[in-house]
A and B are shown apart, each in its own frame.
Chain A
Amino acid sequence: MDKWDRLQILEDIKRLKARYFRMVDTHDAEGFANVFTPDGVLDLREAFTAPNMTEKATDNPTPVRPIVITGRDNILAAAKKGMDRISVHHGHMPEIDIQSETHATGIWSMEDIVWSGPGAKRAPKMHGYGHYHEVYEKLADGWRIKSCKLTRLYLHLE
């Protein structure tokens, strides 16, 4: 792998994560599932708790549950159920390490806003910040997310 190949891989992975965010916010469940490897893991166990919240306040207002979802098929099923709210997800400042031509890891800073649905009033129902901790694998059809875990810095729930 020369330096250009490494830079190309960084670009490919940034683009992969951009697609992840766009598929979530445009409610494209199939496209979202295809961001992952067939055995991909989406770990949302810590996605709805944050240091600013009391334990009692951990009920999240979305249909997404704080569980580990394993496999593209299960991610697709969860996405079909969970993508019914207007949402905006942004990723920032990736730290991507390339281990080999087919394996990489990354951490992304993130912000998300979820409204209550079509006809949403001005106030978001959920506004949060945190990090994605990810492992990437290159398959025959390009880079995919092998595992993705969301941790939180702050979460505001209406």
Chain B
Amino acid sequence: MDTCDRLLAIEEIKKLKARYFRCVDTKDAEGYGNVFTPDGVLDLQIAYQAPNRSPSAGSPDNFSLVLKGRAQIAELSRTRGGSRISVHHGHMPEIDIESETRATGIWSMEDIIWYPSGKRRKGYGHYHEIYEHLETGWHIKYCKLTRLYLDPE
């Protein structure tokens, strides 16, 4: 890969992650599923653990924490999305292009969720990701969210 191709791949992955965030916050479940590869994995196992929270604190949404495949991932967006307002932002990606079809990345992130109860929760952390290039372009093959801070219950 020459420099131009590598830079374009980095830009396309940045755009992919932008779509990820936009589909989450606009509750576009199908669009959200299509950000991932058909066998994509969304790993939220430690997305609700933060150094400032008790280790037993779980997800307030009561959904499965490892979602496999586009259908499960889209379903998460569908079932959870309607009941709340969210804003997710990504910052400062560290993207490595390993080949023409495989890349990895780490993104700093911030999110704010407004629950129907009126409660607001703010969080900060990092996404750790693997990307794969298919005929339809770059997609997320694996996405894991870790936390620096999450507002207490």
A and B pair up: yes
The interface of chain A, by Cβ under 8 A from chain B, is 4-5, 7-8, 11, 14-15, 17-19, 21-22, 25-26, 86-88, 90-92, 113, 115, 118-122
Question: In the complex, which range does the number of interface residues on chain B fall in?
Answer: 20 to 34
B95 & A15 in contact (Cβ 8 Å cutoff): yes
A118 & B110 in contact (Cβ 8 Å cutoff): no
With beta carbons under 8 angstroms apart, the residue of B3, B92, B94 that contacts A90 is B92
B144 to chain A, nearest CB (A): 14
Total A-B Cβ pairs within 8 A: 65
Point out the residues of chain B lying under 8 angstroms from A115, CB to CB.
52, 149
A88 & B152 in contact (Cβ 8 Å cutoff): no
B149 & A19 in contact (Cβ 8 Å cutoff): no
Q: Is B151 an interface residue (CB 8 A)?
A: yes
A95 to chain B, nearest CB (A): 15
A-B contact pairs, 30 of them (CB 8 A): A4-B2, A4-B3, A4-B4, A5-B3, A7-B3, A8-B3, A8-B7, A11-B7, A11-B10, A15-B94, A18-B91, A18-B106, A18-B108, A22-B108, A22-B126, A25-B108, A26-B148, A86-B51, A86-B52, A86-B149, A90-B92, A90-B108, A90-B110, A91-B92, A113-B124, A113-B149, A118-B51, A120-B52, A120-B149, A122-B152
Q: What is the bound-complex CA distance between A83 and B6, given in angstroms?
A: 35
Point out the residues of chain B lying under 8 angstroms from A15, CB to CB.
93-95
A76 to chain B, nearest CB (A): 21
With A18-B106, A115-B149, A121-B152 already in contact, 9 other A-B pairs whose C-beta atoms are closer than 8 Å: A8-B7, A11-B7, A15-B93, A17-B92, A19-B94, A21-B92, A22-B94, A22-B108, A25-B124
Q: What is the bound-complex CA distance between A153 and B89, given in angstroms?
A: 22
Residue of B with least CB distance to A17? B92
Point out the residues of chain B lying under 8 angstroms from A19, CB to CB.
94
A88 & B92 in contact (Cβ 8 Å cutoff): no
With beta carbons under 8 angstroms apart, the residue of A5, A88, A120 that contacts B110 is A88
A18 & B93 in contact (Cβ 8 Å cutoff): yes
A16 to chain B, nearest CB (A): 9
Which of B10, B51, B126 has the largest count of A CB atoms less than 10 A from its CB? B51
Residue of A with least CB distance to B50? A86
Q: What is the bound-complex CA distance between A120 and B7, given in angstroms?
A: 40
The answer to whether residues A18 and B10 also contact, given A4-B3, A90-B110, A118-B52 and a CB cut-off of 8 A, is no
Point out the residues of chain B lying under 8 angstroms from A120, CB to CB.
52, 149
Point out the residues of chain A lying under 8 angstroms from B6, CB to CB.
8
A26 to chain B, nearest CB (A): 8
A27 to chain B, nearest CB (A): 9
Q: What is the bound-complex CA distance between A86 and B50, given in angstroms?
A: 10
A18 & B52 in contact (Cβ 8 Å cutoff): no
Q: What is the bound-complex CA distance between A92 and B89, given in angstroms?
A: 12
Residue of A with least CB distance to B149? A86
The answer to whether residues A88 and B3 also contact, given A14-B92, A22-B94, A115-B52 and a CB cut-off of 8 A, is no
